[in-house]
Amino acid sequence: MNKKITRFSASMRILHWAMAALIISLLSAGMTMVKSLEVWQLELLTLHKAAGLLVAVLVVVRLVNRWCATVPALPDSLPRWQKTMALGSHYALYSLMILMPLTGFLMQYYGARPIAVFSWFTLPSALYPDIELYALYRQLHGFIGYTLAVLILVHVLAALQHHFIRKDGVLKSML
Partner 1 sequence: MKQYLILLFSLITLPAFADVPRVSAQQFVDLQQGESTYPGYRRAHAKGMCISGEFVSNGNLSRYSTASVFKSSKTPFIGRLSIAGNNPYAPDLKAPVRSLALSFATSQTKQWRVAMNTPPVMAVANPHDFYQQIVAIKKGPEAIGAFFEAHPESADFLQWKANYQPSSSFALETYHSINAFYLVDEQNQRQAVRWEVKPHASTSSLKNSFTGDNALFNEFKQQLSDGPVMFDWVFTLATEQDDEHNPAKRWPQTREKMIAGQIKITQWQAQQGGRCDGINYDPLVLPQGIEATKDPILRARSAAYAESYRRRAVEVLAGDVEEGRDE
Q: Which residues bind partner 1 (CB under 8 A)?
A: 13, 17, 20-21, 24-25, 28-29, 31-42, 45, 111-114, 116, 119, 122-132, 134-136, 138-139, 175
Pick the binder of ligand HEM from 8, 105, 110, 137 (CB under 6 A).
105
Instruction: Give the nearest distance from C-beta 44 to partner 1 in angstroms.
Output: 9
Q: Does 27 bind ligand HEM (CB under 6 A)?
A: yes
Q: Does 141 bind ligand HEM (CB under 6 A)?
A: yes
User: Closest-CB residue for ligand HEM?
Assistant: 30
- What gap in Å lies between CA 161 and CA 157, rounded to an integer? 6
- What gap in Å lies between CA 175 and CA 170, rounded to an integer? 9
Q: What would the DSSP string read from start to end of 54-85?
A: HHHHHHHHHHHHHHHS--PPPPTTS-HHHHHH
Instruction: Give the nearest distance from C-beta 80 to partner 1 in angstroms.
Output: 30
- What gap in Å lies between CA 19 and CA 42, rounded to an integer? 23
Q: Does 23 bind ligand HEM (CB under 6 A)?
A: yes
Please give the span between the terminal C-alpha atoms of the chain, in angstroms, as a whole number.
Answer: 23
| Cα atoms found within 13 Å of the Cα of residue 85, Cβ hemisphere only | 10
Instruction: Give the nearest distance from C-beta 127 to partner 1 in angstroms.
Output: 5
- Using DSSP's 3-state secondary structure scheme, residue 10 falls into helix
Q: Which does 139 bind (CB under 5 to 8 A by kind): ligand HEM, partner 1, none?
A: partner 1
- What gap in Å lies between CA 135 and CA 133, rounded to an integer? 5
Q: Does 162 bind ligand HEM (CB under 6 A)?
A: no
For ligand HEM, the closer of residues 55 and 170 by Cβ is: 55
